[in-house]
Amino acid sequence: MSGEPAVRLQVDRVSHSYGQLEVLRNLSLEVLDGEFVAVVGPSGCGKTTLLNLLSRFDRPSAGLIEVNGQTRTVYQKDGLFPWQTVWENIALGLRRTKDKKEQERQVKELISLIRLEGFENSYPYQLSGGMRQRVELARALAGTSEVLLLDEPFSALDYLTRLRMRLELARILKERPRTVVLVTHDIEEAAQLADRIIVLSEAPAQIRFELSITAIRPRDPTHEEVVRAVHRVLTELGVESGSGEYANA
Ligand SMILES: Nc1ncnc2c1ncn2[C@@H]1O[C@H](COP(=O)(O)OP(=O)(O)OP(=O)(O)O)[C@@H](O)[C@H]1O
Ligand SMILES: [Mg+2]
């Protein structure tokens, strides 16, 4: 065997339309085992659509999607059940674990991982937005799935909470490694977290360009490589002052 990491997700010449509306066009993408890929692109370009195809919630109109393993998704909109407590919401992620004692042990461990000890019996409405997102993460990390699909998980949070959540996510992934696809319109978030940033064009979305970031996580927003990556993406998108459309940074 070679030392090459396995391909975990494969998107091969995928196109997707909703009726007349063409959303994705001939998209190809490979995500390696353990890789953290961020997908950024304008609103409505098809990012959630792509995640829905990766989670097998939907099938592509054309092309192939291969997912080697189980996926768990954190959705763009609040995905917790409001009538269930923190404990119950997380336990839902472990419903396949039949052994009750083992389930209990794991929920406890996850609650400690997201630092919400003492809130086991709270309902989502009793938590702050950042706490709710941590519960969502814990639920998605419960069990043995290999792939984490994150759809703008922090976009509803204020800037400081977002900064904290990025560090939390990096910390949590160190303890529970996963292959991650993070959809976001926040370029700084992408640069702080991802090994690779994929920039999509307007719908019908195609990959406009991509770039890799090698600095170890957690990374501060002011980390040299993060700043450089943000600058590079903004320049490519033509929204950095002094740069034109498609300027070569
Ligand atoms: N189930 C659906 N039926 C019909 N059209 C849809 C459906 N889901 C999405 N669309 C359309 O497909 C396009 C892409 O939607 P999608 O939700 O994938 O975009 P997005 O990149 O996630 O946007 P945002 O950043 O705003 O979340 C939009 O024009 C949307 O209206
Ligand atoms: Mg979306």
Whether residue 140 is found in the same domain as residue 155: no
Same-domain pairing of 44 and 139: no
pLDDT in tens, 79-100: 899 999 999 999 998 988 888 9
Ligand 1 centroid to residue 109 C-alpha, Å: 36
Pair 103, 122: CB distance under 8 Å: no
CA of 21, nearest ligand number:
1
In terms of domains, do 45 and 161 share one?
yes
Phi and psi at 107, nearest 5°, equal -60, -45
Residue nearest to atom 28 of ligand 1 (CA): 44
Cα 184 to Cα 51, 71, 89, 178, 230: the distances in Å are 12, 18, 24, 18, 13
pLDDT at 242: 55
Do residue 174 and residue 207 come from a single domain?
yes
Check whether residue 160 and residue 112 sit in a common domain. no
Residue 152: predicted pLDDT: 92
User: Phi and psi for 22 in degrees, rounded to 5?
Assistant: -85, 120
User: In terms of residue numbers, what domain contains 232?
Assistant: 1-70+149-249
Amino acid occupying residue 215: A
Same domain for 139 and 241?
Answer: no
Of 97, 119, 145, the last residue of a domain is 145
Is the Cα torsion angle 236, 238, 244, 246 positive or negative in sign?
positive
Residues 155 and 238 in one domain: yes
Q: Are residues 153 and 242 in the same domain?
A: yes
pLDDT, residue 241, reads 64
Q: For ligand 1, atom 8, which residue shows the shortest CA distance? A: 49
For 214-249, how does the pLDDT look when each residue is reduced to its tens digit (9 = 90+)? 999 989 999 999 999 999 999 888 777 655 444 444
Which comes out higher in pLDDT, residue 157 or 213? 213
- 65 and 159 fall within a common domain: yes
Nearest CA to ligand 1 atom 26: 43
Q: Are 44 and 162 members of one domain?
A: yes
Closest ligand to C-alpha of residue 41 is 1
Give the CA dihedral 215, 38, 140, 9, nearest 10 degrees. Answer: -100
Residue having the nearest C-alpha atom to atom 6 of ligand 1: 18
- For ligand 2, the distance from its centroid to the CA atom of residue 50, given in whole angstroms, is 9
Query: How far is the C-alpha of 16 from the C-alpha of 46, rounded, in Å?
Result: 9
Any ligand 1 atom below 6 A from CB of 18: yes
Rounded to 5°, the CA angle 17-22-24 comes to 80
- What's the gap in Å between 46 CA and the centre of ligand 1? 5
The CA 162 to ligand 1 mean position distance, Å, reads 24
7/111 same-domain check: no
Q: Which of 145, 160, 186 is the last residue of a domain?
A: 145
Residue 123 and residue 21 share a domain: no
Residue 49 CB less than 6 A away from ligand 1: yes
For residue 66, what are its two tokens? 């291969």
Distance (Å) from CA 76 to ligand 2 centroid: 7
Of 101, 105, 15, 106, nearest in space to 58 by CA: 15
Taking the C-alpha atoms of residue 119 and residue 18, their distance in angstroms, rounded to an integer, is 42
Instruction: Read off the CATH number of the domain in which 5 is found.
Output: 3.40.50.300
pLDDT digits (tens, 9 = 90+) for 3-49: 777 999 999 999 999 999 999 999 999 999 999 999 998 889 999 99
User: 46: Cβ below 6 Å to ligand 1?
Assistant: yes
Taking the CA of residue 52 as reference, the ligand 1 atom at the shortest distance is 18
Which atom of ligand 1 is nearest the CA belonging to 50?
A: 18
- Structure pTM? 0.90
The number of distinct structural domains making up the chain is 2
Q: What would the pLDDT profile of 65-75 be if each residue is shown by its tens digit?
A: 999 999 999 98
Predicted pLDDT of residue 2: 58
> Does ligand 1 lie within 6 Å of residue 47's CB atom?
yes
- Select from 145, 163, 197 the last residue of a domain: 145
